[in-house]
Chain A
Amino acid sequence: MGTLVQTLASSSSTLSTYAAGLATHEGEAHAATGVTAYAWLLVALPLLGAAVLLLGGRRTDRFGPVLATALSWGAFVVGALVFLAMLGRGAEDRAVGINLFDWIAAGSFKVSAGLLVDQLSMVFVLLITFVGSLIHVYSIGYMEHDADKRRFFAYLNLFVAAMLLLVLANSYLLLYVGWEGVGLASYLLIGFWNYNPAYATAANKAFVANRVGDFGLSIAIIVMFFHFGAVDFATVLGAAGSNANQGFMTAIGLMLLLGACGKSAQFPLQSWLGDAMAGPTPVSALIHAATMVTAGVYLVVRSAPIFEAAPTAQLVVVIVGAITLLFGAIVGCAKDDIKKALAASTMSQIGYMMLAAGLGPVGYAFAIFHLLMHGFFKAGMFLGAGSVMHGMNDQVDMRRFGGLSGAMKITWATFAVGWLAILGVPPFSGFWSKDKIIEAAFIGEGWRPWVFGLAALLGAGITAFYMSRLFFMTFHGKKRWTDDVHPHESGKLMTVPMIVLAVGSAFLGLILGPTGLFTSWLEPVTGAEPEGAHPVIPVPVLMALTLVLVAAGGALAWLRYWRDEVPVTAPAGSLITQAARKDLYQDQVNEALLMRPGIHLTRSLVFADSKGVDGAAGGLAALVGGTSSRLRKLQNGFARSYALTMLAGVVAILGALWVMS
């Protein structure tokens, strides 16, 4: 149709005018030149991979996994080139807007699809493409014997594309496309082995919990458009800073937070993450640890001007973060399933990030910094867990592990680095990011620094306990193996990515943290750290306190899970342990409050609809048709004359009218 040509033509003309438009908005984004103009390839390459593998069918079985991996690395190369180009520009000229095409125009609602390549999105691009590509490589080894591995790699590529779209989108609406795209990929991969009904249920649970969050995100965008008349970052965030109505900002902020809670498994929408471990382990590493689940933190940090205009919403972000970090940590202490323990840990660590993101400018950079560090060490540990499972016939019960350090040296060593990093032992990466969050949590006035600071501090101690428990139960102490296992080290395809991630976990924090490289890089987006903000407890004391608590947690774990014998069946445990094993009864609460009433409601409605509503309508129909016996007669074929009857009726009425006039 002609309209297609017109649409395409108008998109290309707006491409050139768009940059000017953006620049006048905020003075933020500049026109894309050179390699940056090709940033759309970041999304297009993995998307192409997914399309080829899914549409190509079995013909692509042979080369599919390698193609997907190559395209993921291709996206990394594009990302790296864009990053280098960005480094070549001054700090204020780094953000670049790229308009792609006019997307939606209905009345006053006009949205064009475009990318925002700035310092914040670039951090994510590098994390996603680098860790994502490593995990593609690992998966070639891990999924080697799976008959459906082509489909697996297609979904992985789909995920990478959607995640990149999420972080590169220049409007909330396009972000939403990536946002649900990663949700879809997550759903598909959690349910990858959905011939197991429990796994299929886990996939549904994840999608539905995310949809509850997406309800929030939808409302946020709707209210945004109502208030600002636009949904792109430049307009919304620009206006949010200046003349915003606080009531609206609070509503938008809280609804965005609801979205973030769904995606990032934060309280009260956390319940899906543990079950999501049903997916193959590389998926847990990439999606449910390093990248997708951190998207909520990205959303909050990206929307900083909105939250800063809405102190109430900001406070709720901090509260959610604090609750979740303790919730996850407590649950992590009781889990015997290595993946579920890691999942609880992920939840808790994202709680730290969320807390930091809610603290405002003192926390943004560290939220993202911790997110980046966590992406390395947690992905590394998940890959380690996968390697252990590979060597142990896919068992996940840590009570049946123990003493694996000898059998799997590389896995043990790389896992050890991740363990030290998450504990925050200097100079490993977590030390530089998590300690900063604890410090930031202690900044402020009144009760807040004490409550949030102590929660963060306490969390560090508990983290040390449960992560050491996990590490010791798996790699140290007595061997508690079942008879049929013969643990062995995994192949190079799996160990090399683990080594690379371990190297990152060991040194990346040291390189980026104390040098101030990371905070100064993000400063144009997140704003400078305010001068003269000091924690209510002096920093050296805090640092010492943290280290003491970490040491205590580690020591306690050493006593109970290395020195003492670990029983192969879990002891009954205290009430708290029992509650923690059951994820603090999250599923029971959801079932009692939502599922069971919901099931009753739908059942009674189905009954009422067939009896009540339809009955009433049927009665009406009988009335129209005269009596029910007449109805039956009509059914026997008289209705064929319906058309004639009707026509006759019409003619009669028209005739009457004619006579009247």
Chain B
Amino acid sequence: MTAMSTVPWLTILGLIPLVGALVVAFVPGSAENAKRMAIGFSVVTLVVGIIAATQFDRASGKQFQLGEQHSWIPQFGVSYSLGVDGIALVLILMALVLTPICLLAAWHDVPEEAGPRGGQRVKTYFALILVLETFMVGVFAATDVFLFYVFFEAMLIPVYFLIGRFGGPRRQYAAMKFLLFSLAGGLIMLVAVIALYLQGPGGTDGFLIERLTGLSLDPTTERLLFVGFFFAFAVKAPMVPFHTWLPDAATESSPATATLLVGVLDKVGTFGMIRFCLQLFPEASTWATPVVVALAVLSVIYGALLAIGQTDMMRLVSYTSVSHFGFIVLGIFAFTTVGQGGSTLYMVNHGFSTAALFLFAAMLVRRRGSKRIPDFGGWQRITPALAGIFLVAGLSGLALPGLSSFVSEFLVLVGSFSTQPVATVIATSGIILAALYILLMYKKVMTGPKPEGLVGEREHDRLDERGRRGLTAVRDLTTREKLVAAPLIAAFVVLGFLPNLALNVINPAVDKTLSHVQQAVPNLNPAGTVAEGSSK
């Protein structure tokens, strides 16, 4: 049973942003005020989230904590059941940290229109992000398969509107593509969800994960169910060849939406692989491993090569994510504690890392009015501080040792080698490609002679009236932008040197997931235990 908590922490965490969304959207007042309230609600959520995290007991024998369970649709065995293990907890915390940062970064995303209700569009935008936060908490916290499915699909709604109404010129196309890909995955999963229930013990709480864990399924059925779930997760993650919706969605949506989409929502795919594919269908997971690992390695290399070839900054960043998700999936399907722990940490670090890349790139795009990389060049000369944080984000993207992304990438590789040596070596070559896509972008955007017609604000101040003629001053980082950058960069450094802050929470959960697999497939890794390679 899910451990009942005296305080329904997770429900509270989900409710605060939802209430916030209603307040932001419907309470009259200026748009400016609504923005502040939105940030306020997301910060309160984060604070409550941190308090909840302190109540989490790492040593507990229970799989899920901080949760609650109520019957919802007993006729169909559906419960409103929430709870988190270490994996879900760190992902929720990551989402809670990213939301206020994104809201702050989104400050000027939507221009206020003229007229008495001109601020409504702004309010809707901020409210939708808060709604999304609610669903993000829900999807990671659901311990009922059906409830998970509901959140999984419900997330699409705010995202669809965020992309379709607040995006770039091809937003309608991108939003529809996103929706159709997700729908395709989701509907197949729905069939699998229902079929799984029918295979399970049934009853009024028959959709609970713990009741569906350890079923002795007929191998063919199990494999079909696995494929149903995996397909949805592979689209979401996204893995090659189901990735093509991502670059469009990321480049057409606002930077804040892109960040939450790639940084948090896509993690539901890889999170789902651990929670559902591995835990519910262990035998089928090992059966599918060769194909999944091949796709993962393909994603690593293919995503990186595609990133190198991009001329649109946002598309480039989204292809780097395709590559990074390849690493995450590789670590999960390595079936080692090191690999899976690394993958989970990777999900957290990638959230911060990709947020930095999207949001910092957006600061450039805002100033230049273009996402095209060839439209830049020499910007280090006019915006040195922005160039500095952009480089740091890039270095995090290429997993520079000392930054957090290195720890997780290395754990994935070192953890995968014992079971997937060839795939690991190929994936490791991704670090060379990562250097290329980041540094080539940095070179094209930041280095070279000063851009024509533009001048840094400081130099602008020094010039006289005649000197300024024909020159546009470009501001370096504003205070608001510094506030966006600081927590992200702090996360790179802190989790780079103290990754155990997260790993200590993650490790017990990883052990539990893999012990489920171990029980079903005892001779999973003949070379040693599930946990590690041969050690002498």
Question: Chain A residues in contact with chain B, CB under 8 A?
Answer: 1-4, 6-7, 54, 57, 101-109, 113, 151, 173, 176-177, 179-181, 184, 187, 191, 194-195, 197, 200-201, 203-204, 207-208, 211-212, 214-215, 218-219, 221-223, 225-230, 239, 243, 601-603, 605-606, 609, 613-614, 616-618, 620-621, 624-625, 631, 634-635, 639, 642-643, 646, 650, 653-654, 657-658
Contact = CB atoms under 8 A, between A and B. Distances in A.
Given A57-B385, A653-B190, A602 B184 contact: no
A613 to B, nearest CB: 5
A503 B405 CA distance: 45
Contacts of B76: 654, 657-658
B403 to A, nearest CB: 9
Given A3-B505, A104-B499, A650-B190, A218 B447 contact: no
A180 B173 contact: no
Interchain residue pairs A-B with the least CB separation, the first 5: A229-B535, A107-B337, A200-B447, A106-B341, A108-B532
Given A6-B504, A657-B76, 20 more contacts: A7-B498, A104-B411, A105-B504, A106-B507, A106-B510, A107-B338, A181-B401, A184-B400, A187-B439, A194-B446, A207-B435, A208-B439, A218-B431, A605-B302, A617-B241, A639-B175, A639-B176, A642-B156, A643-B157, A653-B194
Given A195-B447, A642-B160, A621 B180 contact: yes
A4 B501 contact: yes
B341 A204 contact: no
A195 B302 contact: no
Given A109-B338, A194-B380, A602-B308, A104 B432 contact: no
Contacts of A113: 497
26 contacts: A7-B504, A105-B500, A105-B504, A106-B341, A106-B345, A107-B337, A107-B531, A177-B406, A194-B447, A195-B449, A200-B443, A203-B439, A204-B440, A208-B439, A222-B413, A227-B533, A228-B535, A228-B536, A620-B184, A621-B180, A621-B184, A624-B184, A635-B176, A654-B73, A654-B76, A658-B75
B410 interface: yes
A106 B337 contact: yes
Interface of B: 50, 53-54, 58, 73, 75-76, 153-154, 156-157, 160, 164, 172-173, 175-177, 179-181, 183-184, 190, 194, 198, 240-245, 302, 305-306, 308-310, 336-338, 341-342, 345, 378, 380-381, 384-385, 388, 395, 400-402, 406-407, 410-411, 413-415, 417-418, 424-425, 428-429, 431-432, 435-436, 439-440, 443, 446-450, 497-501, 503-507, 510-511, 531-536
B94 to A, nearest CB: 13
A105 B503 contact: yes
Contact of B428 (A108, A222, A621, A631): A222
B181 A621 contact: yes
Contact of B305 (A107, A229, A602, A614): A602
Nearest to A184: B400
Contacts of B499: 103-104
With most chain B CB atoms within 10 A of its CB, the pick from A176, A214, A613, A617 is: A617
B490 to A, nearest CB: 12
B91 to A, nearest CB: 15
Contacts of A107: 336-338, 341, 415, 507, 510-511, 531-532
A572 B267 CA distance: 61
A279 to B, nearest CB: 14
Nearest to A245: B536
B244 A106 contact: no
B432 A222 contact: no
A227 B180 contact: no
Contacts of B532: 107-109, 229
A173 B447 contact: no
Contacts of A621: 177, 180-181, 184
A214 B432 CA distance: 8
A225 B414 contact: yes
A263 B481 CA distance: 36
A197 B181 CA distance: 42
A388 to B, nearest CB: 27
A602 B309 contact: yes
A243 B536 contact: yes
A292 to B, nearest CB: 15
Nearest to A176: B401
A625 B400 contact: no
Nearest to B385: A57
Contacts of B388: 54
A223 B58 CA distance: 31
Contacts of A609: 244, 306
Given A4-B501, A602-B306, A109 B415 contact: yes
Contact of B447 (A191, A634, A643): A191
Contacts of B449: 195, 197
Nearest to B311: A606
Contacts of B535: 108, 228-230
Contacts of B183: 624, 642
Contacts of B310: 606
Contact of B241 (A104, A109, A613, A635): A613
A7 B58 CA distance: 13
Given A207-B439, A215-B428, A226-B418, A177 B402 contact: yes
A616 B244 CA distance: 10
A606 B401 contact: no
A647 to B, nearest CB: 9
A646 B156 CA distance: 11
Contacts of A212: 432
A227 B414 CA distance: 11
A177 B395 CA distance: 13
A180 B401 contact: yes
Nearest to B498: A7
B500 A7 contact: yes
B242 A1 contact: no
A646 B172 CA distance: 20
B411 A109 contact: yes
A187 B439 CA distance: 10
Contact of A211 (B53, B58, B425, B435): B435
A165 to B, nearest CB: 9
Given A106-B337, A657-B76, A239 B536 contact: yes
A185 to B, nearest CB: 12
With most chain B CB atoms within 10 A of its CB, the pick from A109, A179, A613, A639 is: A109
B190 A197 contact: no
Nearest to A100: B497
Given A197-B447, A226-B418, A617-B244, A603 B309 contact: yes
Nearest to B341: A106
Contacts of A654: 73, 76, 194
A207 B391 CA distance: 14
A210 to B, nearest CB: 8
A208 B198 CA distance: 54
B417 A226 contact: yes
B414 to A, nearest CB: 5
B533 A225 contact: yes
A200 B379 CA distance: 13
A613 B338 contact: no
A214 B414 contact: no
Given A215-B429, A225-B533, A602-B308, A106 B415 contact: yes
Contacts of B194: 653-654, 657
A546 to B, nearest CB: 41
Contacts of B429: 215
A201 B443 contact: yes
Contacts of A614: 244
Contacts of A228: 535-536
B23 to A, nearest CB: 22
A106 B411 contact: yes
A191 B440 CA distance: 13
Nearest to A224: B414
Contacts of B156: 642
A309 to B, nearest CB: 13
B463 to A, nearest CB: 15
